[in-house]
Every structure is written in structure tokens, then in C-alpha cells.
Structure 1
């Protein structure tokens, strides 16, 4: 299964067909998905539109409610795991969108975020249609190896990732948002970081490694979140 090519065509889907889906597609894929951090337990449930408090002007026939232990870096782990699922579903003609506002009607304390999904005729776009920062803006110098991360989706397209080259890969940082944005998207940006790392993993599956170092450079305006080798 090659999900790398889906990175270059995916778009967040908000226009769905009212068609049924074989949910075994999701269950079977999730049995073999790779987490970023093994020690964090997580689970999900599949909901219909009627089981969700929809706060957007659009809705989907189905929602994946994501739950996790609230351990360190759990949000990044959620983004890493479930972006792999999003790309897989897209490869099967199913659109997805990370949704920050909607919540299950019967959510528990471990609820993190929902992902809307459903059949759609509007799940891809041309590479030229992506509105993203330049590679030179997300790294200490322009590097085409970072294109998969560059194309990752993020809350209000904030693109909070920054990569610093080191001898064996990259130290990864998150942009410190201003006070106003921090109140709105701080939690979502940690999920976004996991999504970007999932893109890097899927593009370098044989060599990708993630670790959190105790020694790293402090960069003004950024928070260190981990290091990758690709």
C-alpha cells in the first residue's frame, strides 16, 4: 500500500455524498497502523451525523471520534496515527476533514477530536492549488525532502512546523502563536505537528525514526517537539 502519492493530491473534504461505507475498511487498516509513540493508548468510534453536535455550516454522513490517554505528546500522536487513516480512506474514494468544532453528543473525558468522512466526488486537487509556505519559510534552508510536511493540512492553514537540519536528520519545532491564535488553535497545532510527521513517515517508511532529545538549540519563536531521521 503506497499512501505517499495521496499527500500530493489530498484536500480537506466538506462536500459529501449520502452513501453507505463498509466500515471494515477502517477497522482493518487501523489494525496495522503505526503510532508515533507506542506508550499512549488510543481508540476511536464511528458515529453518524445524528450522534454528533455539528457546529459547522456543513456536515458529513459519518464522523470518526478520536480518543486518547492524556499523556505527554498525545495530541501529536493522534495527528500522526489518524492522518495515515485519512490518506488511506482518500485512496479508497472517501473524503475526510479534521474538524475542530464538532463534538460527539456522548463524548467522554478522553475525547480529542472528530474527523468527518464520507464518499465524495471532491477529494483531490492539483499540486498548484495548495496554499502553503515556501520551503525556505519552514526550514533553516530550502530542502525538497520536506515537501511532504509542507503539504500537510493544519488548523486555519497555520502551518506551525519548522525543521532545522542536524547531522542525522531534522530537529522539529512548532511555531509559538500570538496570544489570540494560541487561545484558538494551540491544541489543534499539536495535532497538526503529528500530521506533518505522518507525511514525513509515509514518504520515508524504511528509514523514518522519531525521538525526543534532551539537547537541542533553542530557537526564538519556536518550541522544540522532537527530532526525526529520514
Structure 2
């Protein structure tokens, strides 16, 4: 199961088939998935399109609802855990897409976000089709180690992360949004940071480490944590 290779072909899927899916594979994967911050508890449920409120023009046959206790960096942890699932589902011929414009019909204060998913014949793309910031725009200096991060999906493709080299690896920061961006994508930015960290983890599973240190923000960015890869 090579999750890292999926980074270079994955696309956010919006075209689905109505084929049934063996959910046991998904449940088994999530029972063994790596958490970024083990102290944060989370859970999920798999719903049909009739059980969610959808504000997109397209629909998927299934939706995975993510719930979490609301501790510091809970969104980062959720993005980290469930982007691993997204990459895994891709290996099974299952497409997926993070959906901010949707919610569960049954109100739950632990709700974080939904992931749409289903079988699809429109799963992949060539790396030339990715529209992403240059490596020099997401770090203090270009670094090929960050290629998996460069290709990570994010809300409205905002790519709200920034990496600063350290002696041991990188400090990762999140863009401080202006008022407009905070209103449009602010609540999803932590999830985006978790997604980008998931890409770096699956690309470096033996060496990846994450730690929150006592570091200050830098101009335009909030400190999230430090990684070794």
C-alpha cells in the first residue's frame, strides 16, 4: 500500500458512480491510522447523501462525517488523520473530496467537516495539471523535500502554509488571514495544514516527527508546530 505515490496523481473527485463500497476496508484502515496529536480524541460516521445538508452543485453517494473534541489544533489533527484515508481510498478506486460547503443534518457540537467519497472512474491526473504555488512561495527557500507538501489540496486552493528550515527539519506556519479570507476559509485553514502534514508523513513514515514548541509567530504567519522528516 503505497500512499505516497497517490499524492502525485490524486485529484479532488466530483464525479462519482453509484457502486456500493465495502466499508470494512475503510473502518480497518482508520482503526490503525496514525494520529498527529494522540491526546485529541475524534470519531467519524459514514452517511449517505440524504443524511447531510449539501450546498455543492454535485453530490457523492457517501459522506464521511468527522467529529472531534475541540482542543488546540483539533483541525490540524483531523486533516492529518483523514487525508491519510483519502490517499488510501484512492488506492481502492474510491475518489474523495473535502467538502466545507456541507454539514450533517443531525446537529452535533463535535462536528468538524465532511469528506465526500464514492467509486469513480475520474480519479487521477497528470502532475502537470496541478496548479500550485512554487516551492519558493511556500518556504523560506526552495526544497525538494517539500514537493509532497506543494501538491496538497486546500480550501479554494489557498495553500495557507509556510515552511521555515531549522537544524532538525522545518517549522510550519499558517497564514494569518485578512478579514475576508477569515470569513471564507478561516475555519478550514487548520484542516489544510493537517492535510499538508499528512503528505509529508506518508512520504517519510519512518522519520516523520511532529512537536509543538515554544516558538513565536512570524510576520503574516502563525506558528503551528515543528517537524522532522
Given the two structures, how large is their TM-score scaled by the length of structure 1?
A: 0.98
Aligned partner of 1:221 in structure 2 is 220
**Partner-residue secondary structure (3-state), 2:118:** strand
Aligned partner of 1:55 in structure 2 is 55
- The 4+ residue runs of structure 1 with deviation greater than 2 A are none
CA contact (8 A) 2:215 2:223 kept: no
Report matched runs for 1:1-230 at 5 Å.
1-216=1-216, 218-230=217-229
**Partner-residue secondary structure (3-state), 1:117:** strand
Alpha-carbon distance, 1:215 to partner? 3.3
Worse overlay, 207-216 or 153-162: 207-216
CA deviation vs aligned residue, 1:37-63 (integer Å, no higher than 9, x gap):
000110000001111111111100000
RMSD between superposed Cα atoms in Å? 0.8
| Structure 1: runs of 5 or more not aligned | none
1:39 and 1:204 mapped to 2: Cα distance? 22
| Structure 2: runs of 5 or more not aligned | none
1:112 and 1:140 mapped to 2: Cα distance? 31
CA deviation vs aligned residue, 1:94-152 (integer Å, no higher than 9, x gap):
00000001111113110100000000011110000000000000001010000001100
2:107 and 2:66 mapped to 1: Cα distance? 10
1:184 and 1:87 mapped to 2: Cα distance? 26
Count of matched residue positions in the alignment of Structure 1 and Structure 2: 229
**Partner-residue secondary structure (3-state), 2:198:** helix
CA contact (8 A) 2:152 2:195 kept: yes
CA deviation vs aligned residue, 1:162-190 (integer Å, no higher than 9, x gap):
00000000010011122101111111111
